[in-house]
Amino acid sequence: MPSNKSVSDAPIVQFTNCRILRDHQLQREDLWVREGKILNPEKLFFDEKGSADVQLDCKDSIIAPGFIDVQINGGFGVDFSLATDDFKSGIDLVSQKILSHGVTSFCPTLVTSPPSVYHQILPQISVRNGGAHGAGILGAHLEGPFISKEKKGAHPEHCLRTFETGAFQDLLATYGSLNCVQIVTLAPEMRRSSEVIQELTKRGICVSLGHSVANLSQAEEAVQHGATFITHLFNAMLPFHHRDPGIVGLLTSDKIPAGRRVFYGMISDGIHTNPAALRIAHRAHPKGLVLVTDAIAGMGLAPGRHTLGQQVVEIDGLNTYIAGTKTLSGSVATMDTCVRHFQEATGCSVETALEAASLHPAQLLGIEHKKGTLNYDSDADFLMLNDSLYVQATYIAGEEVWRQDVSGM
């Protein structure tokens, strides 16, 4: 049947012999793509009398939305918190390399740094679509410096700041600009944090609670003012206590405003969070779980010494420590590894594991109408995976941008 080109001259690609993750389940149907978008085949047949120009046999692969990493500090020798002359080529390298791990969009993350570093780096980060050049950039995630000294983790203490009078102006002066900022992690127990949370939320910036000694009521108040995320749950916060569960208590709080969902990041690398803690969080609040790598410059590199912003870190296997200490400092796990570990540790379904790295981060950022799903008219950013959840190919806007080389296997 000849395709009817009256609507668009762009070729229509039909992916056959696959299981598509749609509406929370793997469905055995074909995926249709045109001009970088997922196509509704019924409209194509009945309204346009059209058909596919190209058919691709997926050999029974799973097709899932591309992964979205909202907390990644760098990788492959590149540190997003280091102001260098070739910062742009560094971010380009990471965005290219993470394609093989299924990441199609990400938020480059800066750890606590001096104002001069933010002023130098942030103008060099721009929101952009993904493609053959690499994963798309959704905007920066600024983790600190408005965080707790007691729970600073790997953040340099001399750079930490509190909110002074005119708190939001203070934040603006520190960062220099919020133009490309998508997420800000702060400690909600800080004085004047409420006004800062409201101002950031008003500008469409996601506020995340983390590196904090907040009690539950302080955390609930922050959510009532607009905070929607928790930075790496269980890490760099007060441990769960039955009389005051702290930020962790948000997972089952009854004080969350109606219609609002609190999301929480989890570093599912087998190091940062015990599998039992991962299971507790997932069972308590499955729809809020967002997998993040929290990857540092050492991801993809051999063990040894690397940087994380102002600090030197040491990689020993999958453990990363601030040099000379036992303080954990980010991760070297890749997103596909985190997805597999999460599924194994929790025993959750394949669908659930994949959505924690795609649908949930998209919902957190309010972009689920175009990313994180394979719904009709959404961006054709997707992965082909085998049943063990190893990535075989990565597509952005319907174009293949990475494929597993099987010749050498």
Q: Is 235 annotated as belonging to a binding site?
A: yes
Q: Which pLDDT does position 407 carry in this prediction?
A: 58
Enzyme catalytic residues = 294
Would you state the pLDDT for residue 50? 81
How far apart CA 202 and CA 306 sit, in angstroms, is 37
For 409, the token pair is: 């296997």
Helices (H), 185-329: 193-202, 216-224, 275-284
Q: Where are the beta strands (DSSP E) in 158-200?
A: 181-186
- Region of 227 please: left (phi>0), alpha (psi -120 to 50) or beta: beta
Residues 195 and 282 reside in one and the same domain: yes
Question: Tokens at residue 383, please?
Answer: 């992965």
Residue 29's CATH number: 2.30.40.10
For residue 92, what is the domain's CATH number? 3.20.20.140
For residues 294 and 371, the answer to whether their CB atoms sit within 8 Å is no
The single residue listed with the structure tokens 């993040």 is 292
Tell me the pLDDT of the chain (409 aa) as tens digits.
Answer: 444 444 568 899 999 999 999 999 999 999 999 999 999 999 888 888 888 999 999 999 999 999 999 999 999 999 999 999 899 999 999 999 999 999 999 999 999 999 999 999 999 999 999 999 999 999 999 999 999 999 999 999 999 999 988 999 999 999 999 999 999 999 999 999 999 999 999 999 999 999 999 999 999 999 999 999 999 999 999 999 999 999 999 999 999 999 999 999 999 999 999 999 999 999 999 999 999 999 999 999 989 999 898 999 999 888 899 999 988 888 999 999 999 999 999 999 999 999 999 999 999 999 999 999 999 999 999 999 999 999 999 999 999 999 998 754 4
In a domain, 120, yes or no: yes
User: Residue 46 domain-assigned?
Assistant: yes
* Cα separation, 165 vs 78, whole angstroms: 36
Q: For the whole prediction, is pTM greater than 0.85?
A: yes
Q: Are the CB atoms for 75 and 94 separated by under 8 Å?
A: yes
| pLDDT score recorded for residue 408 | 46
Is there a single domain that holds both residue 103 and residue 200? yes
Is position 393 annotated in a ligand binding site? no
Same domain as 253, residue 133: yes
In a domain, 32, yes or no: yes
Does 351 count as an annotated binding residue?
no
Alpha-carbon gap, residue 259 to 33, rounded angstroms: 33
- Do 307 and 350 have their domain in common? yes
% of the chain at pLDDT higher than 70:
97
Judge whether 352 lies within some domain. yes
147 & 58 share domain = no
Q: What is the DSSP letter of 22?
A: E
Domain with 76, as residue range(s), is 66-365
**Is there a domain that residue 409 lies in?**
no
154 is in an annotated binding site: yes
Residues 253, 323: one domain? yes
Is 323 annotated among the ligand-binding residues? no
Residue 330 is assigned to a ligand binding site: yes
- Pairing mode, strands 181-186 and 140-143: parallel
326 three-state secondary structure: coil
* 279 annotated as ligand-binding: no
Closest CA to 118 of 151, 161, 58: 161
Do 210 and 237 meet the contact criterion of CB atoms below 8 Å apart?
yes
To the question of whether residue 243 is assigned a binding role by annotation, the answer is yes
Amino acid letter, residue 163: F
Rounded to whole angstroms, how far apart are CA atoms 247 and 218? 8
Q: Binding residue per annotation — 349?
A: no
pLDDT of residue 7: 59
- Convert the pLDDT of each residue in 97-128 to its tens digit: 999 999 999 999 999 999 999 999 999 999 99
Residue in 327, 326, 266, 263 with CA at minimum distance from that of residue 294:
266
For residues 174 and 321, membership in a common domain is answered with yes
Concatenated DSSP letters of 23-84? TTEEE---EEEETTEE--HHHHHHHH----SEEEEEEEEEEEEPEEEEEE-EETTEETTS--
* pLDDT computed for residue 273 by the predictor: 92
Domain count within the chain: 2
